[in-house]
A and B are shown apart, each in its own frame.
Chain A
Amino acid sequence: MTPEQATHFKAQLIPLFAQLPIGVADTDIEGNIVQVNPHALQLIMPMAIQQGISGMNLLDVLDAYWPELRALISTRNQFSGRLLDQQPVQLPMIGHPDGETRQFVFTIEKIDEGHLLFFFNDLTTYLRKLNAPRTTQP
């Protein structure tokens, strides 16, 4: 692939990245966000604001609610690969009109020694719909 082709493909991928209905964040190993898509910020920022922190570091945002996560990442000695696969975790969002306890799911990939890739979403509404009593007869 030529550099021009790589630039072209990257430009094509950016709109897809922006429209993804799941949160994606590329961070350094300390959790500082390098790249992030809009859905991720939609989910992160209420938690950052309620803690009075900036939201520029994903592990800082999660520390208060998921303290074992940072240790889990630092103790995995693998050079790369999946650290967590669809891990459910409950996170609080004070003031959320649809329920303050949110059911999230996280997949975390270690890209290399210096980078992590987070995929996450708030599944609370999905689970509520899934568990709602069926009102129609088959």
Chain B
Amino acid sequence: MIHFSDPRLLDWLEHQTNQQLDETPFGVVRMSLDGVVVAYCKSESHITGITPDYAVGKYYFTQIAPCANNFLVAAKYAQPQLDEELDYVLTYVSAPTKVRLRLLKSPESKYQYFLVDRHWTK
């Protein structure tokens, strides 16, 4: 199984179907290049309580995860190439939760990705 920090992760993700993304050991949000959710994997859904049916078709950073809608995360996707990991805090229902994020896109990729590793500890 591929791991969160694998340098080939973007290429691997691009070859997975939306259903296959459910099997990844970390949270995966697949978005169109304008930020609309295309796939919202089960591991993310189990924790947030947001169902894939609710998330798909919505703008991720304004409608699903406004806690990451700032210049350090959401605005980074304006770059044509992005591969950045950072420590962050997301809110699940109302509880703050420390996570590791990875932000991924490239000029060749069909989608952009927001990845969440909630098992990460510093």
A interface residues with partner B (beta carbon < 8 Å): 14, 17-18, 33-46, 48-49, 54-56, 93, 95-98
Instruction: A38-B65, A43-B70, A48-B89 are known; give 9 further A-B pairs, CB within 8 A.
Output: A17-B94, A41-B68, A42-B66, A45-B70, A45-B72, A49-B86, A54-B89, A55-B96, A56-B89
Q: How many A-B residue pairs have CB under 8 A?
A: 70
Contact B70 A55 (CB under 8 A): no
* Interface flag for B11 (CB, 8 Å): no
Interfacial chain A residues near B71, Cβ < 8 Å: 46, 93, 95-98
Measured as residues with beta carbon below 8 angstroms from the partner, the interface class of chain B is 20 to 34
Sampled A-B contacts (28; CB under 8 Å):
A14-B93, A14-B94, A33-B96, A34-B95, A36-B91, A36-B94, A38-B66, A39-B66, A39-B67, A40-B67, A41-B67, A41-B89, A42-B68, A45-B67, A45-B73, A45-B88, A45-B89, A46-B70, A49-B72, A49-B86, A49-B87, A49-B88, A54-B87, A54-B98, A55-B89, A56-B98, A93-B71, A96-B71
Q: CB < 8 Å: which of A38, A49, A93 contacts B91?
A: A38
